[in-house]
Structure 1
Amino acid sequence: MPTLNLIQHHPAEGPGAIADWAESRGVTLNVFRADLGQLPPVSAAPVIVLGGPYESNAGPAWLEAERQWLAASLGQGAAVFAICLGAQLLALSLGGKVRRMDRTETGWTTVTFSDGQALKVLEWHEDAINLPTDAQLLASSDQCEQQMYHVGPTRLGLQFHPEWDAESVAMLNEHFAEESPLPQGQQDSAAHAAVFEWLQATLDQWWAASSSVR
């Protein structure tokens, strides 16, 4: 059974719907808690990097260790699927920059892809990415232009959270309580289903492209 490393940064932000995709594809997720000092060895192994409530340019000491690990793994040719904080770390490693937005982008947001398709997704971020020079922009929202980008077929960054399913939202709401800007109570099941369909197709494409470095 193939394995896939996943970097988690916070106890309330786990793989969510990514775990459902992995199980349905026969992929074993190896979860590493970077905030607890856990990182896989530097290698070309494909990796998913999740989000978290930290500043990508600074943050705790363990985040600096992760920045160094990610840069070294990219140097080995690793394929990376990166979400929110992860997408910011990926951009920094590839020569981009991260800046503070005028206002936080939260809750259900519509992103529009370069092919004209639109998708309602969940957001919670106050930073935005200035893309690396060799990156291609793939999706934008009204408030944040850099919602999704790629650098080649195996390095993909998403500012939004397609992995947040209804259970993820409930866990985040419980952990962050009144700080959470995410939807409370009954969730939009149709919106979650549409995002999961998109996530499965996108992960399938990335996972196939990463086969050259597995």
Structure 2
Amino acid sequence: MRGLNLIQHHPAEGPGAIAEWAGSRGLTLNVFRADLGQLPPVSAQPLILLGGPYESNAGPAWLGAERQWLAGCLDQGAAVFAICLGAQLLALSLGGNVRRMDRTETGWTPVCFADGQVLKVLEWHEDAIDLPPGAQLLASSDQCAQQMYRAGPARVGLQFHPEWNAESVATLNKHFGDESPLPRGEPESAAHAAVFQWLEATLDDWWSTANL
């Protein structure tokens, strides 16, 4: 099986549906916990960056170390698929900006894509991205214009969380308790299924481009 490096930033925010995608494609996810000081060597290997409850501009010391590591990987031409905090780190590394929103965007949210598609996705963030120079905006929501962007053929950032399946939501709710704004009770199976179908197609496209 081929390997793919994935950077996790918090114990309750694992790969979720990305693991299901990887397994069905014969890929082994090599998971590194950046919050525990775990990062692979700087290289041009494709990588996935997950989210986390930290400020990308002024986070803990290990986040600064990750930004330096990411800059090195980008200098070597690494393809990146980045989600939430990961997308903010990617934007900062490419010359963009991250700023605080007027209010937090949470729960199931309709996101409109440049091709006219509308998808209901899960959100939990209070920061927004100002795109790096030359980046292409791919999706927006009513509250946050920068929901998805592409910076070159194989560097993609998402502010929303397509990797959060029903199990992910249950884990986050258990970990954060009353602080979590995510849905509780019976999972919305149809919504999760639609997001997973989108995630599979999007990751397939990214992975094929990353390996050209």
Normalising TM by the smaller chain, what interval? over 0.9
2:117 and 2:151 map into 1 onto residues whose CA distance is 21
Post-superposition offset of 1:185: 1.1
Residue 37 of structure 1 is matched in structure 2 by: 37
- Report whether the alignment pairs 1:163 with 2:163: yes
State the SS of the aligned residue for 1:81.
Answer: strand
1:153 and 1:26 map into 2 onto residues whose CA distance is 23
Question: For 1:24-60, what per-residue CA distance to the aligned partner results, in whole angstroms no more than 9, with x for missing partners?
Answer: 0000000000000000000000000000000000111
- Report whether the alignment pairs 1:184 with 2:178: no
Q: Residue 211 of structure 1 aligns to which amino acid in structure 2?
A: N
Post-superposition offset of 1:83: 0.0
2:132 and 2:65 map into 1 onto residues whose CA distance is 21
Q: Residue 143 of structure 1 aligns to which amino acid in structure 2?
A: Q
List alignment gaps of at least 5 residues for structure 1: none
- The count of aligned residue pairs is 212
State the SS of the aligned residue for 1:3.
Answer: strand
Percent of aligned positions with the same letter in both sequences? Answer: 80
List alignment gaps of at least 5 residues for structure 2: none
Residue 175 of structure 1 is matched in structure 2 by: 175
1:148 and 1:172 map into 2 onto residues whose CA distance is 23
Please give the TM-score of this superposition, normalised by the length of structure 2. Answer: 1.00
Residue 62 of structure 2 is matched in structure 1 by: 62
Aligned residue runs from structure 1 range 84-123, under 5 A: 84-123=84-123
Q: Residue 103 of structure 1 aligns to which amino acid in structure 2?
A: R
Q: Which runs of 4+ in 1 moved over 6 A?
A: none
- Report whether the alignment pairs 1:211 with 2:211: yes
State the SS of the aligned residue for 2:153.
Answer: coil
Post-superposition offset of 1:190: 0.1
Residue 140 of structure 2 is matched in structure 1 by: 140
Residue 151 of structure 2 is matched in structure 1 by: 151
Post-superposition offset of 1:166: 0.1
Residue 18 of structure 2 is matched in structure 1 by: 18
Residue 130 of structure 2 is matched in structure 1 by: 130
1:44 and 1:187 map into 2 onto residues whose CA distance is 38
1:195 and 1:101 map into 2 onto residues whose CA distance is 25
Question: For 1:154-206, what per-residue CA distance to the aligned partner results, in whole angstroms no more than 9, with x for missing partners?
Answer: 00000000000000000000000000000011110000000000000000000
Task: Give the superposed CA RMSD.
Answer: 0.4
State the SS of the aligned residue for 1:29.
Answer: strand
Q: Residue 142 of structure 1 aligns to which amino acid in structure 2?
A: D
Post-superposition offset of 1:72: 0.6
State the SS of the aligned residue for 1:198.
Answer: helix
2:52 and 2:91 map into 1 onto residues whose CA distance is 16
State the SS of the aligned residue for 1:181.
Answer: coil
